[in-house]
Structure formats: C-alpha cells, structure tokens
Amino acid sequence: MTTSPSNTNTKPTDEQRWREYAVKAQSGDKRAYNALLKEIASFARSYILSSLANPEWVDDITQEILISVHKSLHTYSADRAFRPWLMSIIHFRRTDYLRKYYNARGNKQTTLDNADFQRANVTNPEHAGEYKDIEAALADLPENQRKVFEMIKIQGYTAKEVAGEMGMSVSAVKVSAHRTAKKLKEALE
C-alpha cells in the first residue's frame, strides 16, 4: 500500500519520508497520502497518549489531527521541515480538544440521588451507597478541618493557597489534610 521513498543507500528518516509523501500527496498521489496519514496517525497516537488524562480521547484527537492535516495540506511547503509543521497541528488540535471538553464539562454538578448519574458513573451498584457514607463522614468533621480537606483534596487548591485562605501555615494545612484523610478512612472501615 505504501509508496517507496526515494532510493538512497541509507534508510530515510521519518522526516525525509514524510516530506516526500507530503509533496507527492500535494500533487494528488493517493497512495503516498494514505501512507503519510497512516504514519501520522501512529505517531500522533503514541505522542499524545502520554499527555492525556483519559486514554479514550486519543482516537478522537487523532482523527481531528488527520482531518486537520487534510485541510491544511496546501500550507506545507517542501522547503520547510515537515515535523514542526505536523507538531504544530498536533499541539493545536490536542489543546483545542481539551479546551472544548473542559468548557463543555464546565462546573457540572449533580447530587448523589441523581439516578442517571449513578447509572453512568457508579460501576458497582452494590457500593453506590459509599459515596453517601463519605459525605456523611465529611459532614461529621469540624468545620475548619472539613473546609481544609475539601479545598485541598476535592477542589484541588494547593496547600499554599489553602493556607492563605484559612490563615494557617502550609505545614499545618498539610497535617490537617493528612489527619482528616486518616480519620475518614477509619470512619469508613
């Protein structure tokens, strides 16, 4: 299926091969284009996989990248390196995808009594009640301790930010969060 790159004594690098495929694709060579897109797909998948929180996004982003390469093929010039051109598209599409995802997700909130949420997110219905147990255990904690724990473990603030907000030292915040986690663990066992 792949067209062979130019005959040289040494094996051509990815860069040389991709550049040659891209130039041929610009002139309408479908076989070269197919080979180029396959190699790009494989490269893009392995490249973005390590940088994503959810591996399920890889294929969506890879498809976006391929479509973008198709749309912008005319912007590639053979006198420039191919890899920076491709990497720009990969970074742009990955960022774009993540931005859209997080914008769409926003600050969606739901209650644990929401049956649809339970069905979609709780894989083992036998343990569904544990979420409520955690909430109940949190509610039993002293106000300040709960607030520190929620800010640092649930809302994702840094210990420094929480310390500033609560008027505590950073080490006191860390100790408080650690003790609360221990307390919760004991309460839920």
Partner 1 sequence: MNEEKNIDTVINGLCDELEPCKCLAHPFVRVLPFLGVAIIYIATLACLIGIRSDLPQKFAEASFMFELFLMAFMSISAAISSSYLAVPGACEKKWIIIPPLTAFGIFCMWSLILAVSEGMHMPVLHMDHCMGEGMFMALIPMTMMIVLVRNGATTFPKITALMNALAATGLGYIGLRFTCSMDTVGHVTVSHLLPYVVIGMIMGLGARKLFKW
Where does this chain touch partner 1 (CB under 8 A) — which range of 77-85, 101-109, 118-126, 144-152? 77-85
Selected binder of partner 1 within 4, 13, 77, 110 (CB under 8 A): 77
For the chain, report the end-to-end CA distance as a whole number of angstroms.
59
Regarding 118 and contact with partner 1 (CB under 8 A), the answer is no
d(CA 159, CA 170): 6
Selected binder of partner 1 within 46, 75, 155, 169 (CB under 8 A): 75
Regarding 175 and contact with partner 1 (CB under 8 A), the answer is no
Residue 158 DSSP SS3? coil
d(CA 29, CA 35): 10
Regarding 73 and contact with partner 1 (CB under 8 A), the answer is yes
Where does this chain touch partner 1 (CB under 8 A) — which range of 33-41, 122-130, 162-170, 175-183? 33-41
Asked whether the beta carbons of 76 and 18 are under 8 A apart, the reply is: no
Residue 90 DSSP SS3? helix
Where does this chain touch partner 1 (CB under 8 A) — which range of 3-11, 82-90, 129-137, 164-172? 82-90
Where does this chain touch partner 1 (CB under 8 A) — which range of 5-13, 23-31, 106-114, 158-166? 23-31
Selected binder of partner 1 within 4, 14, 51, 71 (CB under 8 A): 71
Selected binder of partner 1 within 14, 15, 51, 80 (CB under 8 A): 80
Asked whether the beta carbons of 101 and 57 are under 8 A apart, the reply is: yes
Dihedral of CA 19/22/27/31: which sign? Answer: positive
Please name which of 69, 16, 115 lies closest in space to residue 8, comparing C-alpha atoms. 16
Nearest approach, Cβ of 121 to partner 1 (angstroms)?
A: 22
Asked whether the beta carbons of 86 and 18 are under 8 A apart, the reply is: yes
Residues in the site for partner 1, rule: CB under 8 A?
25-28, 30, 33-34, 37-38, 41, 58-59, 62-63, 66-68, 70-78, 80-81, 84-89, 91-92
